[in-house]
Chains A and B, each alone.
Chain A
Amino acid sequence: MKPATVIKRETVDEIVKLGGAGLFKCYQCGSCTATCAVAEGLFTSFRRVIKYAQLGIKDKVMSDLVPWLCNVHGDCIKACPRDANPCEILAALRRYQSINYDWTGISAWWNYSSLKAKLVLSFTLSLITMLIISLFHGPIITEYVALDTFIPWQSLILFGGSIISVIAILLLSNAYRMYKLVRGNEKYKVGFLTSIILILRFWIKTEIEALKIPDKRVRILEHLSILIGLGLFILLTVIAILYPHAYNNLTIWIIRYIAVGALLYGVGAPLIKRLKRSSNVHWYYRLFRHSTDWTALILVFLVALSGGLLIIFKDLGMPIIAYAVYTVHLGFVVPFLTLEIPFGKHTHWLYKLIANYVATRRGLVRGEELE
């Protein structure tokens, strides 16, 4: 068998720069894997990819899907006898892998640049968008809030659609690159349907177990809120495109506010906790402070906040303000869609999906409980 390959020192430097500061504290005892509720259900270990990272074996790091199976419970942090923070190391590995899945190089820039640089780029895009809108918007109706006159649906769908298409192509191409890397060389061991059932069962089981623990419960709820918020938002967008008159329907109205509320809670709560520097804030908020973690929250927060204000002003019937807020809202949506989703932390949902699927089909997920 051809020996595993060459050590690349740049790999190590890059991973350390991406937040893997504890990488070399690890002495490979396996405590983290043994404590992890997810790892218990796998026939593989994330300790191994940490070792690959330590040695700088780039192709093994890149072809490893285990970092994406992490559900960030954080038990490993407490279990580590060397205080190596395996959870953060895995996050750094995910960032590294994302950078390398992406063929455009934008992900690399996004992950390595400072928070300031990212915000500057994002706000520049926002300003450009807002400028374009202020120059090319439709007629302003002051008697009532006519958002679809201010910016006609067709333009919105055209612009939005083209942006989304480009993003989709980027995302899917990166996802395909990832798939090829993690797929492995052997035939799949587990059938398609069985794997779907396995993944669902596995995920539901580990998350329900995690819910029992108070400090994880809060984070799971926050994360769930974001999912609900974004999911509902997508639902609303689809409905709005297909049934534009349904806008004032009560159910839709309630869903709209729930979406905004969920999003605001889901990103706002962690954001506030991260800003607090006191020690009685949960370790999770004190640890995951990479610039991409911040932008993942900040951009969504701005979108949600502006969106929330928008529907409030619309329902209050204040046209001028509503149009202004609409402009700002769309201004924030653009960097979120074009930068954060394909190149930032938010890509994880896609990579995680692929990783879980491939892991199950390759037979890395245990069927039964480990006795």
Chain B
Amino acid sequence: MRNLSKPVLVIGGGIAGIQAALDLAEQGVEVYLVDKNPSIGGRMAQLDKTFPTLDCASCILTPKMASVLRYKNIKLLMCSEVQEVKGSAGNFTCKILKNPTYVDWDKCTGCGTCSDKCPQKVPDEFNLNLTTRKAIYIMFPQAVPRKAVIDAMHCLRLNPPPDLKEKAKGRPLCGVCERICPAKAIDFTQIPKVIELNVAAIIVTTGIELYDPRKIPEYGYGKFQNVYTQLEFERLVSATGPTNGHIIRRSDNKTPKKIAWIQCVGSRDVRFNHYCSTFCCMAATKQAILAKEHIPDVETTIFYMDIRAFGKGFHEFYKRAMDEFGVKYVRGKVVKINEDPKTKNLILTYEDTSVSYVKKDVFDMVVLSVAIRPNRVVPPLPLELDDDGFIKLKDPFLDPVSTTVDGIFVAGVAAGAKDIPDSVSEASAAAMRAALIAKGIEVPLMTATSFRGGKP
């Protein structure tokens, strides 16, 4: 119907970014999809299963990721970060820093040989540091693009530790990957590049990070080995995770018999984050069900203040967890966790508000449903944030995916805590708006004044 016109920049390659990019591509718009990681997929790639359907997250995500590769008008800029955005709707100039991967991605076939032979082990961020990866690595098995990247900070060749550098006396250290790469794709001479793009519109889909539970020392996260965050537990339960899907404790590799989830850690709390993180009640329910599936006789208890089972299929899922799987729900906020030094079991102190007195319970493993926070995007983006640090919307009713800057749209958790279907919906909505600008279509402004007439 219309010819391709100006491109659109999508910042963040999680499920929202992917959906926006696919919609734009299908609408005939050119898309630059930027992500700071070597692969798209975002948080959803780290999940094992999704609620309430218990779909395998990767199984429903990877086809979408594969679609991204197929569209010729989606250009991926991986390992890249937006440095500067100037201009206005229809005409933004963006400076994007493309970090070097030290691997020629045109040649790399993603075979993984380099990674096998690399001598340097590094904590694996994708697995939340529960296991290690190599300095040259592919982010995860289903990565898209499936290409290797060198972590320069930990590479012996690119960043040799001073003592080894001395000994080498000027000769380059290591070079194993370069030697064994069958495609001869390793290139240690790569340097960071700054790419300038001129785009019509920008969609921000930068997603979430977890609030640092170390800021709430009563829970002992970081001190007690068997206290996990919900994302770490998700990796434990994933077949592609650090334990191949076996739920085992950090302290002694034993299978836990009693697991507890603590809700609202850092959420709904005026001392930390006022807002509700929206999906952790359902995530905990899901994880409890998965735990039951992995360990049939495990006892699972969820400590909550309100069970937020508000979405489609949520209440049914919650009932199923209780009735079919025997997940226990206790209304009472856990205030502190103590560790038994011998067994490394955890003792939770809480008031069971349904009987009105304080109880202590021992668990083998505790999962904290930690608050989510949006990834930092301001600066470089010239956007306004709301009181909770999320990107502020111009008008949630009349312009629901627009930020305070015309032409910059936001979708997903960057604008407020929400779950996957809402993020996908917003991404499509943002794509629609961005596509209209990209095609040069003028959209009349909609304003609604507050009620003035009659008796207020």
Count residues on chain B whose CB falls below 8 Å from chain A CBs: 22
Interface check B335, CB cutoff 8 A:
yes
Residue of chain A at shortest CB distance from B266: A81
- Give the complex CA separation of A198 and B271 in angstroms: 37
Distance in angstroms between the alpha carbons of A36 and B335 in the assembled complex: 10
Q: Are B333 and A30 in contact (CB under 8 A)?
A: yes
Contact partners of B352 in chain A: CB under 8 A: 30
The 0/1 profile, CB within 8 Å of A marked 1, for residues 342-358 of chain B is 00000001111100111
- Given the known interface contacts A42-B357, A44-B356, A79-B335, the answer about A34 and B269 at a Cβ–Cβ threshold of 8 Å is no
**What separation, in Å, do the CA atoms of A83 and B332 have in the docked complex?**
17
Q: Are A45 and B269 in contact (CB under 8 A)?
A: no
Q: In the complex, are the beta carbons of B270 and A82 less than 8 A apart?
A: yes
Contact with A along B234-264 (1 / 0, CB 8 A): 0000000000000000000000000000001
User: How far, in Å, is A359 (CB) from chain B's closest CB?
Assistant: 12
Q: Is B360 an interface residue (CB 8 A)?
A: yes
In Å, the complex CA distance between A48 and B358 comes to 12
Contact yes or no, A34 B349, CB < 8 A: yes
* B 405-444 to A, binary, CB cutoff 8 A, 1 in contact else 0: 0000000000000000000000000000000000000000
Interface flags, A31-47, vs B, CB<8A=1, else 0:
10111100110111101
Cα-based distance from A29 to B304 in the complex (angstroms): 8
Inter-chain contacts of A82 with B (CB < 8 A): 269-270
Report which of A27, A30, A83 forms a contact with B351, defined as CB distance below 8 A: A30
Across-interface contacts of A83 in B (CB, < 8 A): 270-271
Q: Could you tell me the distance between the alpha carbons of A159 and B356 in the complex, rounded to whole angstroms?
A: 49
One of B336, B349, B358 near A42 (C-beta < 8 A): B358
The answer on a CB contact under 8 Å between A370 and B359 is: yes
Q: How far is the CA of A41 from the CA of B351 in the complex (A)?
A: 12
A47 x B351 contact (CB < 8 A): yes
**CB-based contact A48/B359 at 8 Å:** no
Bound complex: CA A155 to CA B305 (Å): 64
**B271 to chain A: which residues have CB within 8 Å?**
81, 83
Where chain A touches its partner, the secondary structure class is loop
Contacts of B357 in A (CB 8 A): 33, 39, 42-45
B270, A34: Cβ atoms closer than 8 Å: no
A31 touches B356 (CB 8 A): no
Please give, as numbers and ranges, the residues of chain B lying within 8 Å of A30 by CB-CB distance: 331-333, 350-353
Instruction: Give the shortest distance, in Å, between A30 (CB) and chain B (any CB).
Output: 3
Q: Find out whether the CB atom of B358 lies under 8 angstroms from the CB atom of A39.
A: yes
Q: Which of B316-368 contact A (CB under 8 A)?
A: 331-336, 349-353, 356-360
Q: Are A29 and B349 in contact (CB under 8 A)?
A: no
In the complex, whether B268 has a CB less than 8 A from a CB of chain A is yes
- B336 proximity list for chain A (CB < 8 A): 34-35
Query: A31 and B335: CB pair below 8 A?
Result: yes
Knowing A39-B358, A45-B356, say if A34 contacts B268 (CB, 8 Å). Answer: no
- B340 CB, nearest partner CB in chain A, Å: 11
CA distance A264 to B144 in the complex (A): 75
Q: Which of these, A29, A36, A42, contacts B333 with CB under 8 Å? A: A29
In the complex, what residue of chain A is closest to B362 when comparing beta carbons? A371
Interface residues as binary, A246-258 with B (CB distance below 8 Å gives 1, 0 otherwise): 0000000000000
When each residue 340-371 of chain A gets 1 if its CB lies under 8 Å from chain B and 0 otherwise, what string results?
00000000000000000000000000000011
CA gap between A39 and B335 in the complex, in Å:
13
- For residues 257 through 313 of chain A, which have their beta carbon under 8 Å from a beta carbon of chain B? none
Closest 6 CB pairs of A and B: A30-B351, A81-B269, A29-B333, A33-B351, A34-B335, A45-B356
Please report B residues at the A interface, Cβ cutoff 8 Å.
264, 268-271, 305, 331-336, 349-353, 356-360
Q: List 8 A-B contacts (CB under 8 A).
A: A29-B305, A39-B357, A40-B349, A44-B356, A48-B356, A81-B270, A82-B270, A370-B358
Give residues in A with beta carbon < 8 Å to B.
27-31, 33-36, 39-40, 42-45, 47-48, 79, 81-83, 370-371
Seed contacts A29-B333, A33-B351, A39-B357; 16 additional CB < 8 Å A-B pairs: A30-B332, A31-B335, A33-B357, A34-B334, A35-B335, A39-B351, A39-B358, A42-B357, A42-B358, A45-B353, A47-B351, A48-B356, A81-B264, A81-B268, A81-B333, A371-B360
